[in-house]
Structure 1
Amino acid sequence: MLLDLSNEPRDYDWGSTELLAQLTGRTPSGRPEAEVWFGDHPGDPATIPDGRSLDAWIADEGARFGVPDHLPYLLKLLAAASPLSIQVHPSKAQAEVGFEREESAGIPRDAAERTYRDANHKPELIVAVSETFRALAGLRELDATRRLVGRLGAGARELAERLSAPDAALDAVLEWVLSEDGRTAAPGLIAAASQGRSDEFAAELDLVRELDSAYPGDPGVIVALLMNLVTIPRGVGLFVPAGVLHAYLSGLGVELMAASDNVLRGGLTPKHIDVAELLAVLDPTPGPVALLHADEIGEGLARYAVPVGDFTLLVARVTAGSPVSVPIDGVGIALATVGEVSLEGGLQTSVVLRPGAAVLVTPDEGALRIEGDGEVFIALPGARPTVSR
């Protein structure tokens, strides 16, 4: 079965008023439109043509078509006009322990202070659909951060001293930044960084001014100063495994993640920050991050190879007269981002997709034939899907 999916954009403050409208060719609503979720996650399940939510359809009929009780992944369109919170996600083992601890403590799952809302991990992949997509990802190599902070003058002396020790540990520096002492020091540090000048780190210092405008005095601005600033070209991905600090800044992307809502925040947010748990989950190893290019696996078909079993992402780029065949191993979701394409399943069911439209592909279809002129992303389970809800 090919089952049309739709959803309303989520209106988070950081969302773009234009990017999703431009993608789909409609008039902007004038409201922030941040994310469109295509999946069965109970936080915002997609809708099918008869008005039921996807999770309800799966519960009612999914087994007849080989669909599992829950999808192991969540596919999204993400459109950021301003920075999201700095965050990190736990490993599967950490999530299981943390979820059980908070369940035993009787903390409501929707409580503001709740950290573990399920027992699953949340590795994620973002692929740029706009010409560029900006992000912060991982902690910058220590010598480079020392050079950057050294450009900031006397106002950043305490941070510079903490970074200058031969045995400086970035998790200890982060603990100070997010402590009461660090929060007190944050306005002075941000002012020093805002006034800083450096040819080597011009983009990073521009970002400090941008973040301070959006989150005045937030210690997360200083956390961002310790992170790698990454510009992702269109069609290229960034994979974020457990423990890696990250924040999306601006742009339109296709995001695919394990089905989880476990987030530990590290700044640029008014929401709860559990510093101790953040540091327990964090991988403080500094160094650059690698961008992920899709590997060609067939004519017009490529795969973003990620080291997790929950999901894999394919991209099909088709031109008139050159159809692409896509094997479907498990339940899939196809999402169009360019042009107009026709999808035909192995059971001879078919659907036409335009940018922003998505369809669930049930396992019994076996394969997809994609024709037309455009681009389609296809989410599928990985080798060993794991989901816990």
Structure 2
Amino acid sequence: MRTERSLTRLDRVFARLDREPERPAMVDMPKMSRHRVVLFSATLAFYLAIVWAVVTTSWLVRLDWQVMFFRPYQQWPQIHAFLDYYVVLGQRGPTAVMVAAWLGWRSWRQHTLRPLLTLATSLLLLNITVGAAKLGMGRLGPHYATVIGSNEMGLGGDIFPSGHTANAVVTWGILAYLASSHWARRWLSAVSAVTSLGVGLTTVYLGTHWLSDVLLGWAAGLLILLALPWFEPLIARAESGIFLLRDRWRARLPLPAPPPPIPVGAAALRTARGSVQDTPAREPVGAREPVGAGTQDIAAREPVGPAARGPRTPVHLAPGPHLTRAERSPVTPGGSRRPPHTERGPHPERPAHGDRGGRGAAASAARPLAGG
């Protein structure tokens, strides 16, 4: 009994690497549902509450100063080297390159630009919103604080909200947003949340951000992810426009010239005959010049062929009866061996058998020479 081989994990990986024959017709795109609107409203309220608490120098500012004086990097110096590398997960350049490579492969595999366009839209929104908030509030970081207990607002800083935290939320959260199944979306959402909070707490440990900066950065990144369904129609129109430009560009390219058709049948036979007739005839062996002939001798050589020869002199045979080949006497260097005979009968004055001279004279007298 023959059984089919079960697929291994490596077989499933290679199956996923194969490109789909066409773009998926049903793409599960998140919509702006009521649940998402509620989450967006709650996150926006949390964002505004943190900003108000920092502007009014409330208990949150005092907590920031207490954490700063605690100096976590001095309390746990053994994890300092690890956290220096871990905080890279929140930097814009490395994370954007890694996620763009993954989403680029998905775009190629599914024949769509939606993953890359969604990533570009989220990063653009992140730069606009977070950058405007940083420059608008101008808060200084813990290392540059001037007055103990103050909120350090409006002094030309750019650390509120935390850019590392917001970037980690958006960059890793976009993978959950573009997941193709609910199970993958839940797990990736949890992983991105933990990663972004870990990056934010790492900046507090290193002393580069206040605790309130991390909370506001986490809320800023979550607002962008929750608002992405509102931009889905714009992303779809941009994708259609890019594909339309691609088709127009391809239509303008000149098509390669088709190869000449191969002659078949009678046409091929006529072509073959024409090539044979056009081929020059070989020079006869007798017409070749001997080895060592000079250039002048070759130039002075007369052409060889029927056209180059002169007219032949006509040959006149003697009158009288002509014998057939069988009746003619064979000629040898010693003379003819067959006894002479004539059609008119024996001559009365025929010489003896051994008289060769008489027979020759009689033959000469009987058959005159041509032209006589």
TM-score range, shorter chain: under 0.3
Where is the helix percentage greater, Structure 1 or Structure 2?
2
Structure 2 length normalisation: TM-score?
0.21
From the two aligned structures, give the one with the greater strand fraction.
1
Give TM-score, length-normalised by structure 1: 0.21
Instruction: Name the larger-Rg structure.
Output: 2
Higher relative contact order (CA 8 A, sep 6+): 1
